[in-house]
Every structure is written in C-alpha cells, then in structure tokens.
Amino acid sequence: MADAGERHWIESFAEREAARAGEPAWLAAARKAAIARFAELGVPTRRHEEWKYTQAARIAKGPWRAAGAGAVAPAALETLGLGIETSPRLVFVNGRFAPALSSRAGLAPEVTAGSFQALFASHPERLEPYLALPSALEDRAFAALAAALAEDGAFLRVPRGMALPEPVLAVFLSAPEPEPVAAHPRLVFVAEAGSRATLVELHVGLGDGAHWSNALGQVVVGENASVEHVRLQLEGAAATHLAHFHARVERDGRFASRAVSLGAGIARHDVVATLAGPGAECSLDALYGAVDQHVDNRSTVDHQAPHTASRELYKGVLLGRSRGIFSGRVIVRRAAQKTDARQKNANLLLSGEAEVDSKPQLEIEADDVKCSHGSTIGQLDADALFYLRARGLDEGEARAMLTRAFAAEITDALPSEPVRERVEAELAGRLFGADRRGRAA
C-alpha cells in the first residue's frame, strides 16, 4: 500500500493530466510509464542500502505544492557573479522556461537550443528519443518522479563535427515562495559524433524559503565526441536538492564532469556513467563543502565495452554538524577487457562533530583489467599547521591555506572562469575561515 508521500505525488500527477492535454502522445505515454515506475518502486526507506543515511520518506511527504513560474528580473543574473548574462544560455525559474532571461547569442544556427515546450511546437521529433526515463536510472524512484512531473526542460544538441567556441549554460533558478514548493527541472544535452562542447549546469537559489528541487539530467556523448561538464549546486539553506544524472559515452567518446555542491540543507547527487563503446572515457570529479548540512554523493561507472577508462575523485570538506556520504560503484562487465578504472574519495573534517560515511566499491567480471579504489578521512595535518604558523601565519590563515590547497585539485580545473571565481569566493566565506571549533569565522 502506498504511503502518504507516494499517494501525494501520484495524485498530483493525475491532477495535472488535463493541463498536459496538448503534449505529444508519445510524451504522455512516457510520463505514464514513469509515474507507474515510481509507484512500483515506492519511496525508498532506510532499509534500502542506497538510502541508508538520507531520509527519503521525510523528503517525499513534505508539504510540497507545485512551484509557480516565479518572476526574476534580468538584472538579477548579474548579481549572481557566474557570468550568466554574457553567455549563451537557457534559463529556467522553478522548472519553467524564462525566455526573457535566456539568449542564443554566440550559438551557430545549426545548434539546437530551446525549452521542451518550444520544441514540441516546432521539432517534436528531436525530443522523442530522450524524454522517457533513462534505462540506467529506472531503479531510482525520484528520477522516475522527475520524468513524470517535469513541467519543462532544457534541450541542447551539438551537430556532428562542430566545436562550440564557448561554454553553453543551462541555468535552473529556484525562487522560493511563502509556502514550501517543489520543481522538477530537466536537462538533455546531445553531442553528436565528432563534436566538442562545454556544458555549464547551474542550480542556484534566489531566496531563503523551503524549496525542493528534484532534478533529472542526461548527456549523450557520440562517437569521438568530447563533452566538458561543470555542475554547480548553490541553493539556499532551507532547500532540498535531489539530482539524478546519466551520461552515456559511445566509442572513443570523452566525458569529463566537475561537480561542486555547496548549497541546500539536504543535497544528494546520483550520477551514472555508461561507457558503452570501445575506447570510451569518463572522469568524474566532485567537491562538496558543508557547514551544518547533509550532502550525499552516489556514483556508478558502468564499463560495458573493452579498452574503456574512468577516473573518479570526490573530495569533501565538512564543518559543524555536517554529514557527508559517498558511495561509489565501478562495474566492469565481462566484455570490458582492458578496462582501466580508478576511484578515490578524500574527506577533510574541520570540526569534531562532522561525520563522513565512505563506501567505494568495485564489481569486476572481466579478468584483464587495472582497477583501484581508496578512501581517506582526516583532519588538517598538525605538522603542516605548525610549519605555516612558524612562518608568521596565524592559525586561521594557516588552516585556510591548507583547506584551500585540499580543494584546489577540483576548483583549479573548472573550465569556466566566472564559476571558478564564484566557487572560490563561496569556499573562502564558508570554509576557509573556519576557527578551531569548525565554525565559520
């Protein structure tokens, strides 16, 4: 029998069906299949290993109502300090497209960039292969819920052989309302064979009200294509952010993702990378910083073909009463001989009350592979602190320098300069000035 949280969302889906009457029949079928899958799976409980540390039931049964469109002035983009206003971009507010904030400037006419709703009217055939729940995420209840309830989404396609000269942005703004609201933002990015592109995905909060962002994203990397992906989550302290992301990489394709999670009281990012063709490569780097927050990172890299390679580096910096979770799973299928996979999770605890649970995993069916994994949890090195203080730095400056060096392996590699500068400023304000008790100075 469905619990209160499940019933709420199933009823919400039924209530919205009339408003979706103009959508293509194939999309209606995909939505119904997704909500049926959500009902079949049910909201996870703590008996589910993947949700052992994050209370999914409490999230699902919250007093959420559908978020309104929200009103955001174009000038607000500049105040975010992320270079949004000068970049080609698709901007969404509470999951709905905001044409006044968006711009195609700098994109070639051959690049498809638009909202789902706009493309339904002009080129629905471009969307049809991508809007069903991705099979790699079909065992994730909240991914199914997002596929069923997404009001709109960003669709970008780079044609065969084209290299984009600058990053393209998919921006999802959360504008909280007086009552707790929920939105289900969605992103599809397709890089056709031989193309090159950088995608910057931003999830940013504009207020302090309670808001649940249940995001679903997918990237398709064609043969010999290359995609650099930057993801920044910077929502408000009262926000809950759940995200599911799937990257499929074809023969000789390359996918490099760098994700930074600094916001939301409860944040969870679940990424699945499928290396589907020989020679496919992916790298998943992530930095999560928390001050009295709960942040949960899950990764699955599925090596399905021979001569594939993956690298994972997840780093966490936690203060106050924060809790960090990392669960990384590398699967090497029997056909994936000559696989090279490396996974590492490193965590820095800056207070006595912070806690981390780390679980790297290897599942290897092939017999000719190079695979490794590791996990570290520690504090700032006392000898390094002494060395810096002996050279004139006070304790706060020394701690900040060492913490910044720990994070730099991720932040220095961010390919978007405005995002990198904003991340460094956030880290400096939230983490680098921590005192001995782990509180922000």
Domain boundaries, the chain: 4-276
Question: Three-state SS across the chain?
Answer: CCCHHHHHHHHHHHHHCHHHCCCCHHHHHHHHHHHHHHHHHCCCCCCCHHHCCCCHHHHHCCCCEECCCCCCCCHHHHHCCCCHHHCCEEEEECCEECHHHCECCCCCCCCEEEEHHHHHHHCHHHHCCCCCCCHHHCCCHHHHHHHHHCCCCEEEEECCCCECCCCEEEEEEECCCCCCEEECCEEEEEECCCCEEEEEEEEEECCCCCEEEEEEEEEEECCCCEEEEEEEEECCCCEEEEEEEEEEECCCCEEEEEEEECCCCEEEEEEEEEECCCCCEEEEEEEEEEECCEEEEEEEEEECCCCCEEEEEEEEEEECCCEEEEEEEEEECCCCCCCEEEEEEEEEECCCCCEEEEEEEEEECCCCCEEEEEEEEECCCHHHHHHHHHCCCCHHHHHHHHHHHHHHHHHCCCCCHHHHHHHHHHHHHHHHCECCCCCEC
Mean pLDDT for back-to-back runs of 10 residues, the chain (441 residues) = 76 84 90 96 92 93 84 88 93 95 95 94 92 96 97 97 97 90 96 98 92 97 98 95 98 98 97 98 97 96 98 96 97 98 96 94 96 94 90 88 93 92 89 51 36
pTM passes above 0.75: yes
pLDDT for position 436: 40
The pLDDT of residue 18: 76
In this predicted structure, what is the pLDDT of residue 238? 93
